[in-house]
Amino acid sequence: MVHDGADLEKKLIESLSKQFPTKAAASTEIINLQSILNLPKGTEHFLTDIHGEYEQFNHVLKNGSGSVRRKIDEEFGNTLTLKDKKSLATLIYYPEEKLSLIEKEEENIDDWYRITLHRLVALTRRVASKYTRSKVRKALPADFAYVIEELITEKAEVQDKEEYYNSIISTIIWLKKAPDFITALSNLIQRLVIDHLHIVGDIYDRGPGAHIIMDTLMQYHSVDIEWGNHDIIWMAAASGHPLSVATVIRLSVRYANLGTIEEGYGINLVPLVTFAMEKYKETDCTPFVIRPGEEYNRHDMSMDVRVHKAIFVIQMKLEGQLIKRHPEFEMDDRLLLEHIDYEKGTVELYGRSYPLICSDFPTIDPADPYALTAEEAEVVERITSAFVHSEKLQRHIRFLYSKGSMYRVYNGNLLYHGCVPMNENGEFLEMEIDGRRYAGRSLYDRLEAYARKAYYANKDPEEKRRGQDYMYYIWTGAKSPVFGKDRMATFESYLVAEKETHREKKNPYYDLRDNEQVVDSILKEFGLDGESDPHIINGHVPVELKKGESPVLCGGKLFIIDGGFSKAYQSKTGIAGYTLVYNSHGLRLVAHEPFTSAEDAIRNETDIVSDSEIVETSSKRISVEDTDTGRELREQIAELSVLLSAYEDGTIPER
């Protein structure tokens, strides 16, 4: 049966009438939604390129890139000293840890509880004021929901309000619940200061705690993720792609970060270690150095360099097999094992012969260099199975799929990790996939579709394998939006001393992203040309502040917020990362100092916000009406208005 537009609208309205069965119910909901539209928009927090630095990440999350301190300043002004403000901020960031120190030092702890509870209640009232009572109620901790709501809700009917609130707080202290209540209020303030979190890629690799970051994100109240290339390779590995598994392990051992795999995800690497110690025991491992962090046990160095070499060879072999399966990837320049002269110890690159730092590869057959030995094949099968059967890894990767995507359009901003691949003229690069050509937004969409097949197409093994191979291309391919270079010179960076061979040419996007015409064409491609003040928020390539680079380009239309969260990049950038805060007043870019430790932050009340720059101020306070949520609410109001009219003219009877 075919329904015309009128029939369909009537069915929708009849369905809506079940939820709002009377004129009064529909009218009340319209009033409620209309009032929400006039509230200030919630604060959005943008982070990118975290690279496993979980302590710094957790601190920035707790302080909202300075949002907590700004709320403290707004609430208390000059009535609190700078020292008191720092103490209050640290308590909010780390309530349990800070309380344990204070309770040992304070002579009259009940007085301290009383003063602190009053301050926290006042601050909670301020940060809750921009939300509906219903939304705040949903955020309240279950154990103290009723009492907190009493404390932060203005009581018009109570004549002596001060005595009323004092009585509640005195009772909390008398019942020995003050520490629990302080912790609950501190966590509530953290939650209400930031309404929504955006992670613009690269949670994994480099640092030691990607698994801890993922645990934190899974508990966060509202978050989305735009996949970075390092996330993609972990997602592919978790799907059971042997080449991606080898790549993840190589990166982890290179940065002395096998703890994430072994302790974090419970993945047993003993088969690989046993194989490496046997096959590479007497070989030259000079190029396969480890980049150890402060906590690295150097007694493991001899073993790790052999594991490093073994997994490098396995990766190169499996990569060669993939390239031969997919000529459309146009990656033949990465087929380098066949260009090695194993007797002379040289490799042919771009028409020139280069000496190899090391040419001692006992498992490579020069006649068939990409074939795994029987022992290598067994190792690959066992470690791949371990990745697939790690329950915690699978839980984290499913979360990445459910909350993540290749790009996102959110409240007039375009978020992506790497670049929109283009040529020198600013035209979007085309890539042929399955006989069709894709560029710009359609390329993102097609590659994301394959990324999802890699994990979920379990009933079609061929399609799943194809999706997995495409994920590896997303990690390293020249036209990949999240990679953005002409090649990944892994082989050369390990085995060839001449720096000229290590060069990875960036996509022209990176030279053109300060060109307004190019940036406008990107915004138009992703449907943002009709927005009043659209922005691109971009991660992936660290901003080298030392060299005078700026994170704000194209007159404020494009923000690059990778400033070196990862310690591996901080010597280049000169800072420890940028974050972006978008609240009802506008956009604020925050530069961060290197983070020492959570213990230092707790004991010495150090914070890591080093510089905060307002980059865009709205002429009027931005309200919910101006957001994507506002658009949805207006649609709901329009539907309810039709329902109300139907009740009034008798088209639909009230229930």
Q: What range defines the domain where residue 124 resides?
A: 62-193
Q: What pLDDT does residue 578 have?
A: 82
Query: What confidence tens digit (pLDDT) does each residue in 475-493 have?
Result: 999 999 999 999 999 999 9
Residue 472 and residue 323 in contact, taking contact as beta carbons nearer than 8 Å? no
Q: What pLDDT does residue 575 have?
A: 47
Q: 552 lies in a domain?
A: no
Residue 505 and residue 485 in contact, taking contact as beta carbons nearer than 8 Å? yes
Pair 231, 99 in one domain: no
Q: Work out the angle at residue 305's Cα, subtended by the Cα atoms of residues 301 and 307, and round it to the nearest 5 degrees.
A: 115
Pair 219, 188 in one domain: no
Pair 169, 220 in one domain: no
End-to-end CA distance of the chain: 28
Q: 542 lies in a domain?
A: no
Q: What is the Cα 167 distance to its own chain's centre? A: 44
Tokens describing residue 13: 């309205």
- C-alpha distances (whole Å) from 122 to each of 119, 155, 164, 186, 559 are 5, 14, 14, 12, 35
Q: What pLDDT does residue 122 have?
A: 94
Pair 27, 92 in one domain: no
> Which amino acid would we find at residue 132?
T
Pair 189, 216 in one domain: no
Q: 114 lies in a domain?
A: yes
Q: 458 lies in a domain?
A: yes
Pair 71, 175 in one domain: yes
Q: What pLDDT does residue 590 have?
A: 86
CB atoms inside a 10 Å sphere around CB 152: 22
Q: What pLDDT does residue 74 have?
A: 94
Q: 586 lies in a domain?
A: no
Residue where one domain finishes, among candidates 461, 495, 529 = 495
Dist. CA 509–CA 518, nearest whole Å? 9
Pair 447, 476 in one domain: yes
Dist. CA 277–CA 303, nearest whole Å? 7
Dist. CA 77–CA 7, nearest whole Å? 59
Pair 179, 253 in one domain: no
Q: What is the DSSP letter of 52?
A: T
Pair 68, 33 in one domain: no
Place of tokens 């300043």: 73
Task: Please identify every stretch of the chain with a pLDDT value under 70, giving residue numbers as ranges.
Answer: 1-6, 155-159, 294, 544-547, 563-576, 595-596, 607-613
Which secondary structure element, helix H or strand E, spans residue 344, and what is its range?
none
Pair 308, 453 in one domain: yes
Q: What pLDDT does residue 458 have?
A: 94
Residue where one domain finishes, among candidates 439, 472, 495 = 495
> Which amino acid would we find at residue 41?
K
Pair 221, 254 in one domain: yes
- Looking at the structure of the chain, the number of domains it has is 3
- For 257-408, where are the alpha helices, taking DSSP H only? 258-259, 270-279, 301-325, 374-388, 391-403
Strand order, beta sheet including 346-349? 340-341, 346-349, 352-355
Dist. CA 611–CA 578, nearest whole Å? 10
Residue 624 and residue 38 in contact, taking contact as beta carbons nearer than 8 Å? yes
Pair 229, 185 in one domain: no
582-598 burial, b for 16+ CB within 10 Å, e for fewer? Answer: bbbbbbbbbbbbebeeb
Q: What pLDDT does residue 5 have?
A: 60
Residue where one domain finishes, among candidates 138, 162, 193 = 193
Predicted TM-score (pTM) of the model is 0.92
Q: 293 lies in a domain?
A: yes
Q: 12 lies in a domain?
A: yes
Q: 654 lies in a domain?
A: no
Q: What is the Cα 628 distance to its own chain's centre? A: 21
Of 576, 394, 412, 421, nearest to 486 by C-alpha is 421
Residues whose CB is less than 8 angstroms from the CB of residue 631 and which lie 6 or more positions away in sequence, other chains included:
none
Q: What pLDDT does residue 609 have?
A: 59
